[in-house]
């Protein structure tokens, strides 16, 4: 990617083999929960947790 002018600064995967490769390249994201497109993602278990909040209705 660097040859094309794209420099990866942080990366992770659900695949442990790919995370090991990313770590070898120095770009692995070690956070347990990562924000992706405004959502939280736990790559180790491939889940996107969220908190449901109730909306108070005046009806």
Q: What is the CA 15 to chain-centroid distance, rounded?
A: 12
What would the two tokens of residue 49 be? Answer: 């947790």
User: What is the structure's pLDDT at 4?
Assistant: 80
User: What is the structure's pLDDT at 13?
Assistant: 87
User: What is the structure's pLDDT at 47?
Assistant: 92
For 10-59, the pLDDT digits (tens) are 888 888 898 888 889 888 888 888 888 888 999 889 999 888 888 887 76
User: What is the structure's pLDDT at 59?
Assistant: 63
Yes or no: say if 24 and 16 are a contact pair by the CB < 8 Å rule.
no
């Amino acid at each position: 990617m660097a040859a094309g002018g794209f420099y990866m600064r942080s990366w992770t995967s659900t695949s442990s083999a790919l995370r090991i490769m990313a770590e070898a390249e120095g770009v692995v994201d070690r956070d347990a929960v990562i924000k992706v497109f405004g959502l939280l993602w736990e790559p180790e278990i491939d889940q996107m947790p969220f908190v449901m909040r109730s909306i108070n209705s005046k009806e």
